[in-house]
Amino acid sequence: MSELSLEEGTLLIHYARLAVDRYLSRGVYIMIPQGLPSKLYEKRGVFVSIEKIVSERGGVKRRVLRGRRGIVDPILPLIEATIRSAIEVAVRDYRYPPLNVGELNNVVFEVTVLSKPELLDVRDVQKCLSELRLGLDGVVLEVGGRYRSVVLPQTAVEEDWDKSEILQQVCLRAGLPMNAWMNSNVKIYKFKTQIFYELHPNGEVIERALYIGRE
C-alpha cells in the first residue's frame, strides 16, 4: 500500500465532512471531485468513523463513537469510497440514530485507509499471531465467500486487546464461537491501515500512530 501524505489524508477528511454536510442539509450527494492527487483515485478499502464530543464534570471532554461504516475490498476509488462511507455512517449505521445537521459542529471525523486484505495461515497459530502488528493491522473474517465482521486497529488499542483477543473478537462479532478462526471453513485476513482524524470539529487533521511502542 503506497502511503498517503498528511495533506492527502486531510483532503479525505474534508470531503467526508463536506459529503455529510451536503447530504444532511440539502439531501444531495456531492460529485466526485476531480484534480486531486492521484493516490486518492486508487482503489482502496476505507472506513469512516464519526465521534461525538461529550463534556463531563470538570469540563473534561471525551469522544464517543457516533457511527462507523466502510468498505473492505478495494473496489472503488478511495475518494469515492470515502464519500460513500461517510454518508453511510451518518445516516445508515443501524446502531445509532441518523446524524442531524445540527450535530456537525460537535462531531469529529476519522478516516481509516486500508490495504488489500492478505489471507493469514491460521494453521500455524504462532506464525499467524506474529504476523499481526498491534495498532497497525486490522482483521476481517470471511465465511462462505463473504465478509462477516471486521476489527480495526484503533478498536483493538482502545479495548486493550492482545493479538489472540483480536482474533477472538472478530469471531464473536460474526456470531461465531471465539475460537472459530481456527476452523477450516473460516478465513481470516489482515490489512494495513493509515488513520487520519480531526483534533476538533472542522479542526486540524493528524495521522494517528497507534503502533508506536506496541509489539
**Cα–Cα distance measured from residue 34 to residue 50, given in angstroms and rounded to the nearest whole number:** 25
- Report yes or no: 20 and 90 within 8 Å, Cβ to Cβ: yes
Task: State whether 37 and 139 are in the same domain.
Answer: no
| Structure confidence by residue, pLDDT tens digits, 167-191 | 999 999 999 999 999 888 899 999 9
Q: Does 1 fall in a domain?
A: no
Scan for cell 501524505, then name that residue. 5
- Please check whether residues 100 and 24 belong to one and the same domain: yes
Same domain for 37 and 20?
yes
Rounded Cα distance, 96 and 179, in Å? 29
In a shared domain, residues 80 and 183: no
Look up residue 23 and give its amino acid: Y
* Domain membership flag for residue 215: no
Cell numbers standing for residue 50: 464519526
pLDDT mean across residues, the chain: 92
pLDDT tier at 212, thresholds 50, 70, 90: low
Report the CATH number at residue 176.
3.30.1490.150
Could you tell me the three cell numbers for 101?
A: 445537521
Residue span of the structural domain in which 51 resides: 6-115+193-208
Q: Give which of 139, 146, 145 is closest to 172, Cα–Cα.
A: 139
Torsion of CA 75, 23, 7, 139, to 10 degrees: -40
pLDDT tens sequence across 31-58: 999 999 999 999 999 999 999 988 777 6
Which helix (H) or strand (E) segment holds residue 103: the answer is none
Average pLDDT over every residue of 67-84: 96
Q: For residue 151, what is its C-alpha cell? A: 476489527
Predicted pLDDT of residue 214 = 65
The answer to whether residue 213 sits within a structural domain is: no
Co-location of 103 and 22 in the same domain: yes
Asked whether residue 173 falls in the same domain as residue 93, the answer is: no
Whether 129 and 162 share a structural domain: yes
**Whether residue 98 is found in the same domain as residue 149:** no
Instruction: Report yes or no: 19 and 29 within 8 Å, Cβ to Cβ.
Output: yes
Any domain includes 50: yes
Does some domain include residue 74? yes
Q: Which helix (H) or strand (E) holds 130?
A: helix 125-130
- 159 band by pLDDT with thresholds 50, 70 and 90: very high
CB 167 within 8 A of CB 181: yes
pLDDT of residue 128: 87
Does a structural domain hold residue 77?
Answer: yes
User: Helices 78-91 and 6-26 sit at what angle, rounded to 10 degrees?
Assistant: 40
Q: Are residues 144 and 175 in the same domain?
A: yes
Q: Count of domains in the chain?
A: 2
Residue 214 inside a domain? The answer is no
Q: Within 10 Å of residue 25's Cβ, how many Cβ atoms?
A: 11
Same domain, 100 and 173: no
CB environment 97-121: b (16+ within 10 A), e (fewer): eebeeebbeebbbbbbbbbebeebe
Q: Compute the half-sphere exposure of residue 42: CA atoms within 13 Å on the CB side of its CA.
A: 15
pLDDT at 175: 93
Whether 48 and 136 map to the same domain: the answer is no
Average pLDDT over residues 96-108: 94
213 pLDDT tier (thresholds 50, 70, 90): low
**105 within domain boundaries:** yes
- For residues 88 and 147, membership in a common domain is answered with no
Give the CATH number for residue 61: 3.30.700.20
